[in-house]
Structure 1
Amino acid sequence: MAGQVFRVMLRMQIKSGMEGDFERVWQEVGDSVTSHPANLGQWLSRSAEEDGIYYIVSDWADEPRFREFETSDRHLEHRKKLHPYRSGGSMTTMHVVAALSGAVGSRS
């Protein structure tokens, strides 16, 4: 469906003892993603259940513009800066089909 938010979720395993450095570098280089005109935002979360596991979620205006970013030199440079901290990972993509705001999010 045209105009549907395209969401990317990365699951990253970070090398033991490098978690703090990874978080710092992720924040330092994040604008290479968020400054892209099709990016709607991104979030870094640390697993509450598994040591060294992080999730990065980014929302995009549409899939074609994400795919354009994914193969760009800008993205490859971003990945190079984070790669030394990773010991594994995976990527899942999806189309957001509905969104509901919670009670706190809907207060004015």
Structure 2
Amino acid sequence: MSETLFRVMLRLQIKPGMEQEFERVWLEVGDSVTTHPANLGQWLARDGDEKGVYHIMSDWVDEPRFREFETSERHLEHRKKLHPYRSGGSMSTMHIVAHLPGTAGCAPAEAATHEAWEAAR
């Protein structure tokens, strides 16, 4: 298995009327993910087309370290806190094979991911 940057993308359908509460709780419990030594950051995005749909992107130094986190007690507790807001969802995983920075450069939230990507190359 290639030791490359690993990205996890979740698609979550949130129960109607619970979107703001979901966003608040996601921000409150996010450090249970971002403080893991292998996590490079995560992003929460509200879908522009589908009401109540959110996407969470999370970058990891490699897949084995993510899988270690995925089965940890820390992750199970995190999921329990967000589960009441979900009515459905899915997960996609991917290995980043290339990164082309845009003309505007890296936003502060992306700087650590970019640096990790460069270091891993």
After the TM superposition, which residues 1-108 of structure 1 pair with which residues of structure 2 at under 5 Å, given as runs?
Answer: 1-2=2-3, 4-105=4-105
Q: Secondary structure at the match of 1:91?
A: strand
TM-score of the aligned structures, taking structure 1 as reference length? 0.96
d(CA) in 1 for partners of 2:56 and 2:50? 15
Structure 1 unmatched runs, 5+: none
Alpha-carbon displacement from aligned partner over 1:73-106 (angstroms, at most 9, x marks no partner): 0000000000000000000000000011111116
- More helix by percentage: 2
TM-score of the aligned structures, taking structure 2 as reference length? 0.85
Q: CA RMSD in A?
A: 0.7
d(CA) in 1 for partners of 2:45 and 2:100? 20
Alpha-carbon displacement from aligned partner over 1:17-72 (angstroms, at most 9, x marks no partner): 00000000000000000000000000000000000000000000000010000000
d(CA) in 2 for partners of 1:7 and 1:41? 10
Q: Secondary structure at the match of 1:98?
A: coil
Matched residue pairs, number? 105
d(CA) in 1 for partners of 2:11 and 2:60? 18
Match for 2:6: what amino acid? Answer: F
- Give the 4+ runs in structure 1 shifted more than 4 A: none
Match for 2:43: what amino acid? Answer: W
**Identical positions, percent:** 74
Q: Secondary structure at the match of 1:40?
A: strand
